[in-house]
């Protein structure tokens, strides 16, 4: 099975200008993802971008940039599905290249070791699923069963499931096991993008549960600083082959 790695990286980041090529511990943010993708069992790694500076950096670190992303696919409101579908369609039309699976790799989540990507690919191939989604377990107050919301009509505070707050489960051990996507990676069949509602998941889904250590998504400068600290720990653990 051919697995195509796609790294989406547009140039119009507003919260952190030029985020994808901003230096993170001396290396452009996107380079962290490219490095691990190339070290994994992904067969081909491409970057879809509209920005020449990002293209230059991507090529420098070993990824391919076979096309430039059209302007209509670079807005703040565009979903990821049409961006990935454009890449697949372009490769099929211009190179007659049709992958069996897609590995979607987001640059704002730079902690994605190759050995984890390989395990996700192995699950995808062996279990013959439509997708494998990287997740983390939701612990304590992050668990939906302990989350609160305000009723739109009455203004009263309720549990997220709609029950009165007095019915909250009293102990963490009683909480249902729930998961949250961590955006480290999505491995999926291209056909999912051509369903009635284009999506990454399909019908047969497998979860890849990861340590919360990898739960970082850079959207603000505060996230950026937090990520730098985590990456320092990451590099130390990597040297001793003790990554979780």
Q: Give 160-185 as a DSSP string.
A: TTSSBGGG--SSGGGSPP-EEEEEEE
| Residue 3 backbone class (left: φ over 0; alpha: ψ -120 to 50; beta: rest) | beta
Instruction: Identify each DSSP E strand in the chain by its residue range.
Output: 3-8, 23-24, 27-28, 44-48, 101-104, 131-137, 148-150, 157-159, 179-188, 205-209
Which pLDDT tens digit goes with each residue over 154-208? Answer: 999 999 989 999 999 999 999 999 999 999 999 999 999 999 999 999 999 999 9
Looking at residue 76, its pLDDT comes to: 85
The model's pTM: 0.93
Cβ(87)–Cβ(81) under 8 Å? Answer: no
Looking at residue 58, its pLDDT comes to: 98
Looking at residue 6, its pLDDT comes to: 98
Looking at residue 190, its pLDDT comes to: 98
Which tokens belong to 111? 């902690």
In the predicted model, residues of the chain with pLDDT beneath 50 are: none
Mutual orientation of helices 29-39 and 52-60 as an angle, nearest 10°? 40
Cβ(132)–Cβ(101) under 8 Å? Answer: no
Cβ(14)–Cβ(112) under 8 Å? Answer: no
Rounded Cα distance between 207 and 186, Å, is 10
Rounded Cα distance between 31 and 23, Å, is 9
Looking at residue 215, its pLDDT comes to: 92
Domains of the chain: 3-135+180-239 (3.90.550.10), 139-177 (no CATH)
Considering only CA atoms, which of 118, 114, 91, 88 is closest in space to residue 34?
114
Looking at residue 222, its pLDDT comes to: 94
Helix, coil or strand: residue 23: strand
DSSP 45: E
Q: Give 81-114 as a DSSP string.
A: HHHHHHHHHHHHHHH----SEEEE--TT-----H
Looking at residue 14, its pLDDT comes to: 81
């Amino acid at each position: 099975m051919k697995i195509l790695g796609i790294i989406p990286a547009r140039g119009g980041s507003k919260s952190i200008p030029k985020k994808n090529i901003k230096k993170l511990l001396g290396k452009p943010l996107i380079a962290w993802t490219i490095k691990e993708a190339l070290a994994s069992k992904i067969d081909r790694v491409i970057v879809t971008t509209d920005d020449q500076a990002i293209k230059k950096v991507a090529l420098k670190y070993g990824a391919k940039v076979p096309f430039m992303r059209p302007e209509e696919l670079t807005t703040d409101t565009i979903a990821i599905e049409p961006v990935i579908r454009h890449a697949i369609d372009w490769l099929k039309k211009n190179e007659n290249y049709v992958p069996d699976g897609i590995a979607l790799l987001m640059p704002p989540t730079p902690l994605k070791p190759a050995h984890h990507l390989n395990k996700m690919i192995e699950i995808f191939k062996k279990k013959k699923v439509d997708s494998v989604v990287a997740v983390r377990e939701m612990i304590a107050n992050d668990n939906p069963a302990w989350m609160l919301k305000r009723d739109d009509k009455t203004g009263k505070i309720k549990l997220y499931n709609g029950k009165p707050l007095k019915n909250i489960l009293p102990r963490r051990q009683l909480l249902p096991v729930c998961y949250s996507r961590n955006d480290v990676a999505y491995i999926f069949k291209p056909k999912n993008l051509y369903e009635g509602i284009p999506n990454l998941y399909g019908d047969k889904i497998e979860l890849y549960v990861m340590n919360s250590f990898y739960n970082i998504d850079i959207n603000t400068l505060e996230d950026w600083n937090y990520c730098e600290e985590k990456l320092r720990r990451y590099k130390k653990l990597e040297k001793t082959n003790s990554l979780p």
